[in-house]
Structure 1
Amino acid sequence: MTADVVPSEVEQLAGLLGPEPDEVIETMDHHADEQGFPTVGPEVGAWLSVLARTADADRIFEFGSGFGYSAYWFARGMAEDSHVVLTEIDEDELEQAREYFERAGIADRASFEHGDAIKIVERYDGPFDIVLVDNEKQRYREALQAVESKLRPGSLVLADNAITAGVIDRDDVIALLAGESVETATEASRGIAEYLDYVRDHDRLDTALLPAGEGVAVSVVRE
């Protein structure tokens, strides 16, 4: 799935080097493979755990959580008194996420919010230590703008699919980001390019690209 982003050998090494998956993650991976459900995968998952631990994250908010895969990896790197907010428009997927967290005995460290994440975040006070943007690609910038006032200096914003995905053409994103006109670009490709352009020129964010999985744009809020 990600061989066009990083060589398969590097991806294999990353999987061997990262934190050992537990029984819940193995079950999640099996479910994703069986259903053809896109997740960040264990290579990016390991990064989520490491970043959560490095940032000493107490509060994390996700724009789009699916069945809880990325949130679970975050939780593995967080302290017992920390909290992650999962949001998902698909109620069945959100219930699956709750079941996985309950199976791991950490459901009390999470909120499971059904509905539009951009509206849900309005109900939460900041600051958030980490925010994951993984909702509709054409709404990435809208998601970040909705949470900007709830970030602190040092907060991290991670945006998945910054390089590719099924509906994203990497060459189109590059061309759009370079200011070229691409009439055939998909709405998703335009959304990713719009987001990357926004964080690149943002006066409060420093952004770099993590070339793992399908690409993660990592932004940190300046002092």
Structure 2
Amino acid sequence: MTREKEIERYVLEHVDQEDPLLQELDRETHLKVLGSRMLSGHLQGQLLTMFSKMIRPGRILELGTFTGYSAICLAKGLPEGGKLITIEKNDELVDLAQKYFAKTGLQSRIEQLVGAAVEIIPTLSDAFDLVFMDADKREYSDYYNLIFDKVHSGGYIIADNTLWSGKVLDAPVHGDDQTLGIIAFNEMVKNDSRVEKVILPLRDGMTVIRKK
């Protein structure tokens, strides 16, 4: 076992245990869904829950539901009357996510929308305290521009996969639009004086952005 894997195991042994329902969702996702590695997983899920409980957001927007793991983790920090809107373009994943929203008892706090985020975001009238971006990497800059005015001052945007398996360090391969999208997004946020930002080297990278 590599040193990195040993450290990861040590960390997981010293944080709160994974919710049994999230363990079940993790297993079912890996058994039934292609691209199961996109699921947030225990450590990142714990961090999202911690962020949500610290921020105490009244409204959360999530871009990229997948099978619902991260939505459940984020929704755990909602106060009474809070709401999470989550957008997923793959309609084949809706039933699986909805099943676990119900199992966790959070279905009344989670509204799931199906379609392209770039088309749905302009239709939303809510203002958000927390946004979690984990959808099409080619469109990260578009998401950022579309949601920015819908985020309260002092609110947060968390963008996942911003180190993109280290590909941000290399010259992008021709046609690798996902990597190009992440690099363009990172540069845009770096140069945006309207926000404070930090990149956490957790898993595939997570950028935490605070709107001034």
- Scaled by the length of structure 2, the TM-score of the pair is 0.90
| Shift of residue 185, structure 1, vs aligned partner | 6.5
Alignment partner of 1:206 out of 170, 191, 196: 196
Q: Deviations over 1:73-115 (max 9, x none)?
A: 1112222321111111111212211110111111000101010
SS in 2 for 1:190: helix
Q: Deviations over 1:149-174 (max 9, x none)?
A: 10122211111111125xxxx24x13
What residue in structure 2 maps to residue 196 of structure 1?
186
1:129-208 maps to which residues of 2 (within 5 A)? 129-165=129-165, 170-171=166-167, 173-175=168-170, 182=172, 184=174, 186-208=176-198
| Shift of residue 28, structure 1, vs aligned partner | 1.3
- 2:47 matches 1:15: no
How many correspondences in the alignment?
Answer: 209
User: RMSD of the alignment, in Å?
Assistant: 2.0
User: Aligned AA for 1:20?
Assistant: Q
| Shift of residue 219, structure 1, vs aligned partner | 0.7
1:33-182 maps to which residues of 2 (within 5 A)? 33-34=30-31, 35=33, 36-37=35-36, 38-165=38-165, 170-171=166-167, 173-175=168-170, 182=172
> How far apart are the structure 1 equivalents of 2:15 and 2:73?
11
What percent identity do the matched residue pairs reach? 23
The answer to whether the 8 Å contact 2:164/2:182 transfers is: no
Q: Which runs of 5+ in 1 are unaligned?
A: 177-181
> How far apart are the structure 1 equivalents of 2:87 and 2:77?
19
Q: Which runs of 5+ in 2 are unaligned?
A: none
| Shift of residue 186, structure 1, vs aligned partner | 1.4
The answer to whether the 8 Å contact 1:128/1:155 transfers is: yes
> How far apart are the structure 2 equivalents of 1:153 and 1:43?
28
User: Aligned AA for 1:93?
Assistant: L
> How far apart are the structure 1 equivalents of 2:161 and 2:56?
25
SS in 1 for 2:192: coil
User: Aligned AA for 1:186?
Assistant: D
